[in-house]
């Protein structure tokens, strides 16, 4: 478990996203635990940003360049350098690191994932028994309304995990929290926030971490706006080639508006349009990001190596040079298309 | 700020990927409080930069102008330098946008025999298109025994549009023997020997690194990435998110609950 500071109750978090228009800043959220996602918008002059925003932007830029396998170490290094505690808090909330696993002794040792969103002090809440480990009497817990939804979300997400990741090597957890004030939270149309987490570890070291943070808005005229920020962290060291390692992180922000025809909480049969909408949203985004990692980013690292050292004998032919330029152009176009969609 | 902060700054700078030391330095300077600006003053940065360039092999580029050690009259170094120069020009041509250089220094083996260390370095930095790569080779040749050993490190970094993906490869091939070279040998023999050294280095780089990486990339989608997350579920259809359908499946799997439906 990272040595992060204690819970930040009632903290306001500024969110920037490079995929949104420059003038658009996501609304502040007021969870007990913040959510905050991607890097600040490129091209914003530092003079227009607060010094805290500049510091965060610089830290995120550094972490985008250093080895993804060492992100936890470098995050720790950065927090030793920054003097502002609020900025350190925000950095811990904005930067995702490979998830750790806990065991719920109240639920037959069932595993759950540890993150900032289920942490209170040095304890973490299990989504299965709703208990904290180590025990914590007054730890944050979601409202009754959300706890019911959280249980159903964990149930369905567990099935999703089994379908895509393999049951024996992966762990999933869903944590929800109220984000609006008490008056709104009592209604069935109130918004909420949450995180959907999956970790898969295979072959003694290779890992995949999916961290989906969702902001579900209020239900208005039967429609709900979902804002999803997804971080994928992965590391691959082939068993037969232990000298090679590919590791990476990828962050995306997406927005989707969906119908919510039933009450937002689960009905008597356990169905909730929220779970269905969010689940489909996550599945689509994850599949797309997996494809991007495979077809764009990993292929681009291959291209970098091929361009560094020419394979085969002889001088560069015109055909080889033409192929190289075409490959670069195609990859660049694919990358640009991903950013604008 | 304490010595811990200084170590933290150094650790981050030493982890800079190819071509991005100064970018990370600027980022660190922007987040340091004014009272601690001295931690990154000129001399401190120069020391860290030198250590980074040595560890990554980039110091070879800076030393390329005077890349050969004093020949001391035996001619082996000059022959090796010519052979390596030709090899690097062929494989890391600037036509590909790569900058490459080598250095050769006299050293000794563990048991005191004279030897030469050949250090090669190549990099291709394209920050505008969000990628950079480096290739570092360090080889030791003992002319009296002909034993050649080495280590090759490759780094590739792509960081476009919210991504940060890096390849790191570190290979130490099995030692090979390339024949001996004596101080009394003529120019032709020394040249032939130097070419056999370069050929062995080329063989290692092609087989141990390039082919190895090529096999890994070919298997990446269908083997390694698939073992972490499938493209589609085993059922070949997307997930049904209706919780009732899964509960029904579970109930059917457990069997009929006779108590529940007892008449």
Q: Report residue B212 as tokens.
A: 């190895």
* Model confidence band, residue B258 (pLDDT cutoffs 50, 70, 90): low
- Give the per-residue pLDDT at A1: 31
Whether residue A111 contacts residue A99, with contact meaning beta carbons closer than 8 Å, is answered with no
Residues ≥6 apart with Cβ < 8 Å to B165: A68, A246, A247, A248, A249, A250, A293, A297, A298, A300, A301, B157, B158, B159
Question: Residue B169 pLDDT more than 90?
Answer: yes
Using a CB-CB cut-off of 8 Å, the residues of chain A touching B227 are 202-203, 206
Whether residue B175 contacts residue B197, with contact meaning beta carbons closer than 8 Å, is answered with no
Q: Is B3 on the interface with A (CB under 8 A)?
A: no
Contact check, Cβ <8 Å, A80/B5: yes
- Give the per-residue pLDDT at B240: 87
CA of B51 vs chain A CAs: smallest distance (Å): 17
pLDDT (tens digit, 9 = 90+) per residue, B58-74? 987 776 644 444 455 56
Q: Is A155 on the interface with B (CB under 8 A)?
A: yes
Distance CA B105, CA B167 (A): 29
Contact check, Cβ <8 Å, A244/B134: no
Contact check, Cβ <8 Å, A155/B243: yes
B166-171: average pLDDT:
97
Nearest Cα neighbor of A100 from A72, A131, A130, A77 is A72
Contact check, Cβ <8 Å, B129/A328: yes
The beta-carbon neighbor of A82 closest among B31, B164, B168 is B31
Question: Residues 43-102, chain B: which have Cβ within 8 Å of A?
Answer: 90-93, 95-98
Q: Which ipTM did the prediction report?
A: 0.88
Contact check, Cβ <8 Å, B156/A243: no
For residues A311, A317, A318, A324, the Cα torsion angle rounded to the nearest 10 degrees is: 0
- Give the per-residue pLDDT at B27: 94
How many Å separate Cα A307 from the centre of its chain? Answer: 32
Contact check, Cβ <8 Å, A316/B15: no
Whether residue A260 contacts residue A224, with contact meaning beta carbons closer than 8 Å, is answered with yes
- Give the per-residue pLDDT at A305: 93
Distance CA A248, CA A251 (A): 10
Question: Residues 142-161, chain B: which have Cβ within 8 Å of A?
Answer: 154, 156-161
- Give the per-residue pLDDT at A9: 33
The reported pTM is 0.83
Nearest Cα neighbor of A69 from A239, A231, A245, A197 is A245
Residues ≥6 apart with Cβ < 8 Å to A58: B27, B28, B30, B31
Using a CB-CB cut-off of 8 Å, the residues of chain A touching B89 are none
Distance CA A178, CA A159 (A): 25
Q: Give every residue of chain A whose pLDDT is below 70, as ranges.
A: 1-50, 180-188, 262-271, 312-321, 324, 338-341
CA distances from A297 to A331, B157, B161, B165 (A): 9, 9, 10, 7
The beta-carbon neighbor of B159 closest among A65, A74, A152 is A65
Whether residue B17 contacts residue B52, with contact meaning beta carbons closer than 8 Å, is answered with no
Q: Which contiguous run of DSSP H or E holds residue A197?
A: strand A192-202
CA of A6 vs chain B CAs: smallest distance (Å): 22
Distance CA A222, CA B226 (A): 38
Question: Residue B231 pLDDT more than 50?
Answer: yes
- Give the per-residue pLDDT at B167: 97
Phi-psi region of A201 (alpha: psi -120 to 50; beta: other; left: phi over 0): beta
CA of A66 vs chain B CAs: smallest distance (Å): 6
CB pairs below 8 Å between A and B: how many?
268
Q: Is B16 on the interface with A (CB under 8 A)?
A: yes
Residues ≥6 apart with Cβ < 8 Å to B182: B143, B144
For residues A245, A249, A337, A194, the Cα torsion angle rounded to the nearest 10 degrees is: 150
Q: List the single range of A320-329, B126-135, B206-215 with lowest mean pLDDT.
A: A320-329
**Selection from A175-189, B41-55, B94-108 with the highest mean pLDDT:** B41-55
- Give the per-residue pLDDT at A59: 95
Whether residue B162 contacts residue A250, with contact meaning beta carbons closer than 8 Å, is answered with yes
Whether residue A176 contacts residue A193, with contact meaning beta carbons closer than 8 Å, is answered with yes
In terms of CA atoms, which chain B residue is nearest residue A323? B96
CA distances from A233 to A33, A77, A310, B131, B156 (A): 21, 20, 31, 19, 17
Contact check, Cβ <8 Å, A159/B246: yes
CA of B86 vs chain A CAs: smallest distance (Å): 12
In terms of CA atoms, which chain A residue is nearest residue B223? A238
């Amino acid at each position: 478990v990272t040595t992060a500071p204690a819970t930040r109750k009632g903290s306001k978090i500024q969110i920037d996203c490079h995929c949104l228009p420059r003038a658009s800043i996501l609304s502040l959220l007021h969870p007990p635990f913040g959510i905050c996602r991607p890097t600040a918008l490129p091209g914003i002059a530092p003079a227009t940003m607060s010094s805290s925003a500049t510091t965060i932007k610089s830290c995120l830029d550094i972490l985008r360049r250093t080895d993804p396998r060492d992100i936890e170490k470098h995050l720790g290094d950065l927090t030793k350098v920054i003097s502002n505690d609020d900025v350190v808090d925000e950095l811990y909330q904005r930067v995702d690191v490979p998830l750790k696993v806990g065991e719920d002794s109240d639920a037959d040792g069932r595993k759950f994932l540890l993150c900032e969103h289920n942490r209170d002090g040095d304890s973490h809440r299990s989504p299965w028994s709703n208990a904290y480990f180590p025990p914590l009497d007054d730890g944050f817990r979601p409202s009754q309304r959300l706890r019911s939804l959280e249980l159903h979300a964990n149930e369905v997400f567990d099935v999703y995990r089994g379908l895509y990741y393999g049951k024996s090597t992966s762990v999933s957890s869903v944590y929800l929290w109220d984000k609006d004030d008490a008056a709104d939270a009592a209604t069935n149309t109130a918004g909420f926030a949450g995180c959907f987490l999956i970790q898969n570890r295979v072959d003694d070291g290779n890992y995949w971490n999916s961290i989906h943070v969702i902001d579900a808005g209020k239900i208005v005229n039967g429609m709900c706006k979902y804002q999803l920020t997804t971080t994928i962290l992965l590391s691959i060291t082939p068993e037969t080639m232990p000298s090679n390692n590919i590791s990476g992180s990828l962050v995306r922000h997406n927005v989707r508006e969906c119908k919510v025809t039933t009450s937002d909480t689960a009905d008597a049969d356990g169905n909730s349009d929220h779970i269905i909408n969010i689940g489909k949203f996550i599945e689509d985004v994850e599949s797309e990001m997996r494809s991007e990692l495979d077809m764009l980013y990993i292929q681009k690292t291959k291209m970098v190596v091929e361009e560094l050292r020419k394979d085969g004998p002889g001088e560069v032919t015109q055909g080889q040079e033409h192929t190289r330029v075409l490959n670069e152009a195609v990859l660049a176009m694919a990358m640009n298309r991903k950013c604008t969609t | 700020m304490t010595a811990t902060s200084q170590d933290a700054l150094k650790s981050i700078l030493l982890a800079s990927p190819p071509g991005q030391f100064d970018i990370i330095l600027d980022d660190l300077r922007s987040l340091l409080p004014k009272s601690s600006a001295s931690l990154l003053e000129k001399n401190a940065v120069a020391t860290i930069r030198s250590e980074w360039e040595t560890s990554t092999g980039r110091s070879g580029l800076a030393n390329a102008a005077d890349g050969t050690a004093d020949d001391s009259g035996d001619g082996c170094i000059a022959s090796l330098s010519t052979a390596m120069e030709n090899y690097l020009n062929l494989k890391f041509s600037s036509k590909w946008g790569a900058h490459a250089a080598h250095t050769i220094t006299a050293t000794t083996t563990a048991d005191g025999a004279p030897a030469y260390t050949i250090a090669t370095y190549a990099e291709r930095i394209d920050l505008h298109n969000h990628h950079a790569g480096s290739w570092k080779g360090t080889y030791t040749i003992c002319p009296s025994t002909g034993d050649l050993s080495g280590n090759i490190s490759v780094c590739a970094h792509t960081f476009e549009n919210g991504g940060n993906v890096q390849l790191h490869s570190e290979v130490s091939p099995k030692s090979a023997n390339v024949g001996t070279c004596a101080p009394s040998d003529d120019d032709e023999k020394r040249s032939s020997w130097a070419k056999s050294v370069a050929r062995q280095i080329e063989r290692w780089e092609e087989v141990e690194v390039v082919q190895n990486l090529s096999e890994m990339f070919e298997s990446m989608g269908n083997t390694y990435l698939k073992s972490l997350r499938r493209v589609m579920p085993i059922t070949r259809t997307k997930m049904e998110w209706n919780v009732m359908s899964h509960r029904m499946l579970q109930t059917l799997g457990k069997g009929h609950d006779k108590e529940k439906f007892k008449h």
